[in-house]
Amino acid sequence: MSQPQALGTRVRIEFAQASDPGRDPNKQVNEDSCGYAETRFGHLVVLCDGMGGHYGGREASRTAIATIFEVIDQAPPGATAANALKAAIEEAGRRVYQLGGPPENRGRPGSTVVAMLVGDRGLDVAHVGDSRAYCIRAGQIYPLTRDHSMVQGMIDAGMLTEAEAIGHPDANKITRALGMRPEVEVEVRPEPMEMFPGDILLQSSDGLTDLVLGVDILGAVRQALASGALPHACNQLVNLANDRGGHDNITVQMVRIAELAPRASHTIPQAPANAPDPASPRPAPPQETRPMTAVDTAKAATGTKLGLPPPVPVPTLLSPAASSAAPTAPDQSGLPMPPPSPSSPGFAPVQPTAVDRPVAPSPTMPEQPRLATFAAQLPLPPPSGRYAPPQATQVSGQGPSKTHPPEVPSPVPSAPISVATRGRPSQAGIVYVIIGMSAVIAVLLLLLIWALFLR
């Protein structure tokens, strides 16, 4: 189902969830809890998987999820989304621990948790236990969490593959959960992850991931979305887990990014949102501080005659620190680009076909520092490409006033003869000398023959 814009954010999403007790006759009390809320930090999506007996596990998961929603709403002013999410889960761990009674009690209820906050700054993810989060982008699926479990430790050590972990006898043994201790260590994503329209975020309990690999989840979601909406995709994943045994409670939540707030810091400097109107003058870039030269004035006056394509905004994957420090200007905006392959989900960067006309180097503004402003945001072409230092050649179709200034002073006009031209008289003189000497030798030989034989 579609959800309205969350409080305090301009991100719009579509959200759906489904939960099922599974097919195990001994687990028909669903201990999973899940929910969604609109907060001042953005869209909050939480999933908890209870443990410790039918009713103890259900009470633990419900207590945890209610506490998280409550604490997020009471977060102090100035708190970041990640800190608020971490504090909420830590408080949920304390309250679930209190459900177990005195510290000496061993049969304590507990719960896993995975939570996402989708806001203007990106996606924040936090989790405890083996409930998982994924991102589906550009036809690929990427895990956003690592299980706190014994099996995950074996996978990390190279003892098991992910396929071999399916159905492993220790799959239900987790190393971290809410309620096991008075304080819990919450794993939070270090930085918000940048989102793009069309991204699908997925959270699930181990009732699904214990039986289904990531590639199977991707295939099922793509097939379901080809014939239905998000609720249909959630139900299809639940059915897939049940078809493979359904040994535990199954819960799935899905979020699709429908619209993001424009972020000027995601553009290249001097890259406007739309192609400029040729009839109107183009505003000067914010980092242009030198006076206009004659070459620049001529370019500005005849830019429409040079046949140059309009600048194309190139999206980048900047870290939040770089995004906040990036210069902004009224004519900057971004075109979100679905990606990475990301180390965290992202895409391979796109090479720009036309970013902007390179400004001719001058004594007050050398070429290399200008390229340095782009280096931190996108890969530069090789040195032999478009940004190679301009040579002293004339621009096609223009008069002498449209030539790029050379790196070194031009030759003096009074000496137009090239080195090759100066070499030709010397070669001809040598030929003439050889012919003359040959003629002299021939005359001497005739005189010698006449003197010896004909006298």
pLDDT at residue 137 greater than cutoff 50: yes
**pLDDT of 264:** 43
Q: Per-residue pLDDT tens for 54-90?
A: 679 999 999 999 999 999 999 999 999 999 999 999 9
**pLDDT of 89:** 98
What average pLDDT does the segment 170-192 reach? 94
**pLDDT of 9:** 76
**pLDDT of 103:** 86
**pLDDT of 8:** 64
Average pLDDT in the chain? 73
Q: Per-residue pLDDT tens for 86-110?
A: 999 999 999 999 999 888 888 899 9
- The fraction of the chain above a pLDDT of 70, given in percent, is 61
Any alpha helices (H) in 6-116, and if so which ranges? Answer: 54-73, 81-99
**pTM (whole model) above 0.85:** no
Q: Report the CATH number of the 12-259 domain.
A: 3.60.40.10
Q: Rounded CA gap, 379 and 384, in Å?
A: 14
Least confident of 184-193, 286-295, 299-308: 299-308
| 24 or 318, greater pLDDT | 24
Angle between helix axes 230-243 and 214-227 (nearest 10 degrees) is 140
φ/ψ of residue 16, rounded to 5? -155, 155
Would the CA dihedral through 333, 338, 340, 344 be positive or negative? positive
Cβ neighbours of 29 (radius 10 Å): 13
pLDDT at residue 426 greater than cutoff 90: no
H or E element, residue 165: helix 162-165
Would the CA dihedral through 332, 336, 340, 346 be positive or negative? positive
Q: Which residue from 374, 360, 370 is spatially nearest to 313, judged by alpha carbons?
A: 374
Any alpha helices (H) in 181-339, and if so which ranges? Answer: 206-209, 214-227, 230-243, 294-301, 320-325
- The radius of gyration computed from the CA coordinates of the chain, to the nearest angstrom, equals 36
Cβ neighbours of 291 (radius 10 Å): 9
Cβ neighbours of 221 (radius 10 Å): 22
**pLDDT of 192:** 95
pLDDT at residue 230 greater than cutoff 90: yes
Band of residue 310 on the pLDDT scale cut at 50, 70, 90? very low
Q: Rounded CA gap, 20 and 204, in Å?
A: 12
pLDDT at residue 176 greater than cutoff 50: yes
What average pLDDT does the segment 244-250 reach? 95
* Domain boundaries, given as residue ranges, for the chain: 12-259, 263-277+293-333
What average pLDDT does the segment 275-299 reach? 46
Q: Per-residue pLDDT tens for 257-270?
A: 999 977 644 433 34
